[in-house]
A and B are shown apart, each in its own frame.
Chain A
């Protein structure tokens, strides 16, 4: 079946503009995570959705970052008033249940000029 799909794969935006990044999870995967990865580095947790529960937003770096997940499926990560330090690869991952592995998309490479 299809894997986790992220769009766009690349996004270049000017400082101060808003951007929306999309994640289409694997069908039936109830848990969805957003991570941020700087060049060649480890992953920084941003936000976690589990079913209909309130999301864990503890990793969002500022109030410019927000995310939603509609109908327990597609998720959108929004960054308002982008800054150059927001430049990174944003990865979405999903899984079916506790203690099971994460399935990652190929990420969106965001460049803020």
Chain B
């Protein structure tokens, strides 16, 4: 049973388009992290959000943590081929346990 559900599972878009990935749960987390994974490599951290309602921007990426700290979203503006990869959200509880989402595979077509 996955604590965190991501949608969509697969996304294929043209370069320059915008997109949003959702990460939803019925559980509360102390913080939430987003990772990106490329083929043959391990996931790499993009951002950590801690406060309910928090919004963080990383260049063309905007991350939001829900007010109730149960969900999060990742918005990419003007997607580029270099954004291609598997995006994973991870909810953190008690500081020890990381619960990973089901993943969103993004392909940006040049």
Contacts and interface: CB of A to CB of B under 8 A. Distances in A.
Interface residues of B, number: 28
A104 B43 contact: yes
B44 to A, nearest CB: 7
Q: Interface SS of chain B: helix, strand, loop or mixed?
A: strand
B42 A99 contact: no
A45 B99 CA distance: 8
Nearest to B88: A42
Contacts, number: 61
A46 to B, nearest CB: 12
Nearest to A4: B42
Interface string B3-27: 0101000000000000000000000
Nearest to B50: A99
Nearest to B47: A101
Contacts of B92: 99
Nearest to A53: B96
Residue with the highest number of chain B CB atoms closer than 10 Å, among A41, A43, A91, A107: A43
A48 B96 contact: yes
A6 B103 CA distance: 22
Interface in A47-93: 48, 50, 56, 91, 93
Contacts of B33: 101-102
B72 interface: no
A99 B98 CA distance: 10
B27 to A, nearest CB: 14
Contact of B40 (A35, A44, A99, A106): A106
A41 B96 contact: no
Given A41-B102, A98-B95, 8 more contacts: A40-B86, A41-B103, A56-B96, A56-B97, A93-B42, A99-B31, A104-B43, A106-B42
Interface of A: 4, 31, 33, 35, 40-45, 48, 50, 56, 91, 93, 98-99, 101-102, 104-107
